[in-house]
Amino acid sequence: MKNQSFQRRLKFAVNGIQSAWETESSFRTHTFMSVGVLIFLGWLRPAPIWWAVIFLIIGGVLSLELLNTALEQVVDRLHPEQHPMIAKAKDCAAGAVLVLSIAAVAIFIALLAAHFGGNHGPLIPGLF
């Protein structure tokens, strides 16, 4: 697929997102939650830095979910039988999505604490 036009490469990327949307409930769930968070941000109107952080973490979660889906598809195609090492690799990829999702929740809680907590000093003394 090297040396393809930008438009053609963009179509491949959109097809991948569409495929994940159609086949992966986790991707749909993360997308719906992301839209909900963005709607909430629109209501809350936090400082621009919070918008940047939230967009970055949403992009990270959705991107990692797409990578997890890609890994599962390739592995299942190349080795359809169950194998402990393949199961471990798939579990690790799912775990990576979980870790980043937990970080996303922590960032959202930090946003809420900063917005509604008033001026009570740093969330974690010496760190933030």
pLDDT in tens, 76-108: 999 888 888 999 999 999 999 999 999 999 999
- Of the candidates 120, 70, 122, 59, the one whose C-alpha atom is nearest the C-alpha of residue 93 is 70
User: Which residues fall within 8 angstroms of residue 128, CB to CB, at 6 or more apart?
Assistant: 110, 122
Examine residue 77 and state whether it is found in any structural domain, yes or no: yes
Confidence (pTM): 0.85
Within a domain: 14: yes
pLDDT of residue 116: 87
- Give me 69's structure tokens: 């889906």
Q: Could you confirm whether 65 is annotated as catalytic?
A: yes
Burial readout 95-108 (b: 16 or more C-beta within 10 A, e: otherwise): eebeebbeebeebb
Q: State the total domains in the chain.
A: 1
Range of the domain at 103: 6-116
Flag whether pLDDT at 125 surpasses 80.
no
In a domain, 125, yes or no: no
**Structural domain includes residue 31:** yes
Q: Which listed residue (24, 65, 72, 81) is catalytic? A: 65
For residue 121, tell me if it sits in a domain: no
Q: Where are the alpha helices (DSSP H) in the chain?
A: 6-23, 25-44, 48-78, 84-116
**What backbone phi and psi angles, to 5 degrees, belong to 80?**
-65, -20
124 lies in a domain? no
The total number of residues written for the chain in this structure: 128
111 Cβ contact list (under 8 Å, min separation 6): 44, 46, 50, 53, 54
Task: Please list, in sequence order, all residues whose beta carbon lies within 8 angstroms of the beta carbon of residue 108, skipping any fewer than 6 positions away.
Answer: 37, 54
Average per-residue pLDDT for the chain: 90
* CATH code for the domain of 25: 1.10.287.3610
